[in-house]
A and B are shown apart, each in its own frame.
Chain A
Amino acid sequence: MTAASKDYPQPDRDGDNRPLLDGWQRGQLLLQRCEDCGRDFFYPRPICPNCWSAEVRWHGATGKGTIVSFSLVYRPNHHAFADETPIVLAEVLLEEDVAFLARVVNVEPAAVRIGMTVALLSPVEAARYPLPTFEPSRGPRRRDKIEERG
């Protein structure tokens, strides 16, 4: 299935999120980093939400993270998702220490676990999805960084 065959709801492209959406079209996850306090953050904003610095720069994230929690959505809001239920919706803690809401695909829903490591989809598959989307990472599972934050 191609992007054109699905009518997923799309983000509104604006001056704050254009680099994120352009990056994802190339299969990359870009994050904003504050040049003053050094923190990464998501979602896109015109200033750093931590210190209000306007010196924020986009940079490429590793695209790797760990599932902190997840739900299996059987009743998605929008009809475009109806033939893909359950949607695996996850809180992914990125390696950059940013909490990211994302779909996880290419996985049996019943096999998803807290602590599972995930990685960005390949650029070929990425084109189908409106936002950065993950799949279980290949190779041995990492078990660190799964404790609850805060």
Chain B
Amino acid sequence: MKIDVGILGFGQSVYVKRTDRTLFSVLAEAARNALSSSGVRKDEIDGLAVSSFELPPDNAVTLAEQFGMTLSWAYLGTAGGAGPVAALINALRAVEAGQATAVLVLAGDTYDVAGHYRLMDNFNRALKNYGAPNGFGGANGLFAMIQRKHMAAYGTEREELGRIAIGQRASAMRNENAILREPMAMEDYLNARLIADPLRLFDCVLPCAGAEAVIVGSLDRSPPGKGVRVLAGYERHNYPVGELAPLRGGWELFRDRLYNDAGYGPKDMDFVQAYDDYPIMVAIQLEDLEFARKGEVGKFLAGHSFAWNGTFPLNTGGGQLSCGQAGAGGGMIGLTEAVRQLRHEARGRQLKKARRGLVSGYGMVGYGHGLSAGAIILERVP
């Protein structure tokens, strides 16, 4: 008999621009909050999946020692910002297969701006050897090339992409854990200082310290309205192969199976939590996941508003663009926000209609672009 597995609880740490706290301290805060939200006891957790750039020389097993856990299943995320969504998919399968009964899925880092630059110069051998010696500007320099190419190929405009950043900022103003909460107008977005032309300041995320967590287990123990079912989930790594600055990602390969498995299509989603390292990558995800046709996302953006109370609720807690990017935690902030919305616990930014939504992940920048993509469709268990 297949176990009905889902998400039983969620938690976050406080987000700050920089911190003296240890990585373990920040991860522990998110883990404790998720445990308390789930109603599961600490000694019932026998699986751990962790995604964190700063974790080495530690790993999932030594983290278990730090946290005093004994595990029958351990997973270390390798897909950067796509790691947490992939970890969730794998945690579900582990519980279904009986390898674990309850899994803590955890992601976070304690970065600041300088730490982020050091990370990007040593991100992997290809970037260290063939990116950093060119003064590549980290991810900003690479994604600026992708945005320029999208603008040239499809006529996408900065005014259209800016609607993503502005909508998310309006949501962040209802999120006390967001680091950037000042109102943002289109003028502010368009005229912000140049980082890597065509990217300006509000196209980029603020590296910060923080962590995110969910608990995965059997849904039969969650109280009414508090469980979240994962209807479908897929991941894809290193796609497209051999391109430097592609205008598409792995989502286009699995989207049909994703929607077929879920039994719902893009139009049935009450919200989208997309991986928002840059507005251009949100736009590309919206295309690849068929909210807009390829090359027509500019028109789509111009026709919608993206705050929690807008016509297309997107990254309803403010996303990484306004909350900050807590390293690998940035790949999980959309997941915890989705769970919060589906449990109707989003208070000042709670959607009226929050029955199901899509969460996507993206990350692990290699020679030119993010290698990994993932997406899941979540549904509230009544």
Q: Report if A and B associate in a common complex.
A: yes
Interfacial residues, chain A to chain B (CB-CB below 8 A): 8-12, 17, 41-43, 49-50, 68-78, 80-81, 84, 86-87, 89-91, 99-103, 114, 129-131, 133, 148-150
Q: Bin the interface of chain B by size.
A: 35 or more
For A82, the closest partner residue in chain B by CB is B135
Given contacts A9-B121, A74-B196, 11 further A-B contacts (CB under 8 A): A9-B133, A12-B128, A43-B130, A72-B197, A73-B137, A77-B132, A81-B135, A91-B145, A91-B368, A130-B134, A149-B243
7 closest A-B pairs by beta carbon, nearest first, are A71-B144, A73-B137, A81-B135, A130-B133, A72-B197, A11-B129, A99-B244
Question: Which residue on chain B has the smallest CB distance to residue A110?
Answer: B197
> Once the chains bind, are B128 and A11 in contact (CB under 8 Å)?
yes
| A73/B129 contact (C-beta < 8 A), A99-B242, A101-B367, A114-B152 known | no
B149 neighbours in A (Cβ, 8 Å): 68-69, 91, 114, 148
Q: Are B133 and A8 in contact (CB under 8 A)?
A: yes
Residue of A nearest to B146 (CB): A69
The answer for the CA separation of A91 and B241 in the assembled complex, in Å, is 16
B residues whose Cβ falls under 8 Å from a Cβ of A:
117, 120-121, 125-126, 128-138, 140-142, 144-146, 148-149, 152-153, 193-199, 240-247, 367-368
Query: Looking at the complex, which one of B117, B196, B367 makes contact with A72 (CB distance below 8 Å)?
Result: B196
Q: Which of A17, A75, A131 contacts B134 (CB 8 A)?
A: A131
Residues of A within 8 A of B141 (CB): 71, 73, 76, 87, 89
From the candidates A75, A131, A150, name the one contacting B246 in the complex (CB within 8 A): A150
By a CB distance below 8 angstroms, the chain A residues around B135 are: 8, 73, 76-78, 80-81, 84, 87, 89, 103
Taking a contact as CB atoms closer than 8 A, the residue among B137, B146, B199 that contacts A87 in the complex is B137
Q: A89-B145, A101-B368, A114-B152 are in contact. Are A71 and B244 (CB under 8 A)?
A: no
* CA–CA, A99 and B141, complex, Å: 16
Interfacial chain A residues near B197, Cβ < 8 Å: 71-72, 74, 86
Determine the chain B residues whose CB is within 8 A of the CB of A114 once the complex forms.
148-149, 152
For A8, the chain B residues whose CB sits under 8 A away are: 133, 135
Q: Residue on B with the closest CB to A99?
A: B244
Least CB distance, B278 to chain A, in whole angstroms: 12
A129 to B145, CA, bound (A): 21
Q: List B contacts of A89 (CB < 8 A).
A: 134-137, 141-142, 144-145, 196
**Which residue in B128, B136, B138, B144 is a CB contact (below 8 Å) of A101?**
B136
B121:A101 contact, CB within 8 angstroms: no
